[in-house]
Amino acid sequence: MTGTSMERYLLGIDIGTSACKVIAVDSRGQVAAKAVGDYPVMSLRPGWAEQDPEYWWRAADKAVTEVLARLPDRRAVQGIGLSGQMHGLIALDKHDHVLRPAILWCDQRAAPHCDEITAKAGGLQGLLELVQNRMLPGFTAGKLLWMREHEPELFARLRRMLNPKDYLRLRLTGEHVTDVSDASGTGLFDVRNRAWSRPLMRLLDLPESILPEVVESSDRTGVLLPDLAARWGLPPATPVFGGGGDSVIQTTSMGVIDSGPLGVTLGTAGIVAGGMRSCPVPTGQLQISCGNAPGRWHVMGVTLTAGGAFEWLKQALASVSPATGALSFERMISMAREAPAGSGGLLFLPYLLGERCPHVAADGRAAWIGLTSMHGGPHLVRSVMEGVLLNIRTIAALCVSSGLACDEIRASGGAMSEPFWSQLLADVLQREVTTVTGAAEGGAYGAVLAAGVGRGWWTTLDEAVATLEVTSRTAPDRALDPLYASRFSTFRGLYDALQPVMAQIAAEAAPTNKNVPLQPTSPIEAT
């Protein structure tokens, strides 16, 4: 299709952890416009992470307005796809007003309640039979029990729970709907049968009425509210489609929906994932979700800190000498290049927020091992990058042992904008790393692919991802294989060796008033 007057577009909106990203994609799969609006994460205590959902709406509204202003004809927009951070608990009252700040995916407070849920399900094996996943502290189910225990007055007013992207859908359409991939991350979803686990809801004494309707990722879930469509200048009844949880639909944006390539996403968190045509036998080591295509499943391991560790170090180094200002991303990469492969024997464990995979460890802590007076700033920077990627390699090994193929590494995420990250990923994993069109836009592009199937641009998601083209290939330096094999062997043993110390440190740092009911951490504006 050629010519501006005949062009058509789909919007993809991604509610990330630190920003909302909006893209407009044309009928050739090219990104025609994009915009980003950021917002803060609140943390009152170690291991806590919250956000005011109103920030998401304001950022999305602003970014959509900017994107539409850059299109030659905004009335050529044919639909909207959604993506968003998974597991976040948005608690709504009977008027759909937000009761408290959203408790995010990386929040670790509900670890004791996860143990309680597992026990009520009859142990790990019983839980795996019900929902095919271990109850991770980041999942929504534990947060509901935490809220019931610590905020009983607010919990009594709870009438609906939504995931972050689905709160945006509510503001767009007025509908309470989620998709199968995002529902998979609540801990309340029977992933094998692609339906809510009503037996688990009964065991936990949670009302089924709080659950949103669940659909496939390409299903139509409503249309823009008339006032909003008019304000944005979009066609009346512009459809909004199911979309997906970011960890899953990000992998879809890389074309990984079936066996073959293994997807690696390096954003704030790190994701290693692959696709399967049947729901695998669950072991609790990896997270199983419904895929974005009907009859497909998504198997992944998620480390809570990947690019986030790099950003943490950048801020920490800048704070040492605030007069010089924040270190740039480019300067940090330059420092890493100055250090030798292997960082002079320095190893970094990247468990700054606890960990989900390869270890379920709410009390996990980060650490440098092997630090000497011979190490300087460049060694610290490179060791953090290598530590993140050695952790990724550990998860990739788990994926392969579970039956996923690893013919190549398909990479995406913010870190992949820097070639040094791509080369280091290839070297540490000793696999060729490729990138494809659209993957750099993350979950927003995956949401467009799913929406395109729903809108009829493509017949199936397989057809949609077949349009993606390889944009880069990075071969590993084979001479570094012995070095990183040795580093990997040492790295894998460090968590078990240090876990007792981590647990003790976490216990000593725990607040003494953890059973005191808490008030919301920030004002929530009525929607």
> Which are the catalytic amino acids?
246
Tokens of 513: 């008033």
DSSP string across 79-124: EEEEEE-SS-BEEE-TTS-B-SPEEPTT--TTHHHHHHHHHHTTSH
Report whether 138 contacts 383 (CB < 8 A). no
Non-local CB neighbours of 188 within 8 Å, separated by 6+ positions = 131, 140, 141, 196, 197, 200, 201, 206, 211
Q: Where do the H-state alpha helices sit in 246-365?
A: 246-253, 307-320, 329-338
Q: How far apart are CA 251 and CA 259, in angstroms?
A: 12
The verdict on whether residue 332 carries a ligand-binding annotation is: no
Using CB atoms within 10 Å of the CB of residue 459, give its burial: 0 to 12 exposed, 13 to 18 middle, 19+ buried: exposed
Query: How many CB atoms within 10 Å of residue 217?
Result: 33
- HSE-CB of 204 using CA atoms within 13 angstroms: 29
Measuring CA to CA, which residue among 375, 80, 372, 130 is closest to residue 237? Answer: 80
Q: How far apart are CA 429 and CA 426, in angstroms?
A: 5
Backbone angles phi, psi at 119, to 5 degrees: -65, -45
Tokens of 364: 């996990």
Tokens of 503: 């647990």
In the chain, count of helices (H) and strands (E)? 17, 24
Measuring CA to CA, which residue among 75, 65, 61, 78 is closest to residue 25? Answer: 78
Report whether 204 contacts 194 (CB < 8 A). no
Q: How far apart are CA 342 and CA 72, in angstroms?
A: 50
Q: How far apart are CA 73 and CA 206, in angstroms?
A: 47
The verdict on whether residue 87 carries a ligand-binding annotation is: yes
Non-local CB neighbours of 171 within 8 Å, separated by 6+ positions = 57, 60, 527
Q: How far apart are CA 367 and CA 381, in angstroms?
A: 13
Report whether 453 contacts 464 (CB < 8 A). yes
Residues in binding site for substrate: 86-87
Residues in binding site: 86-87
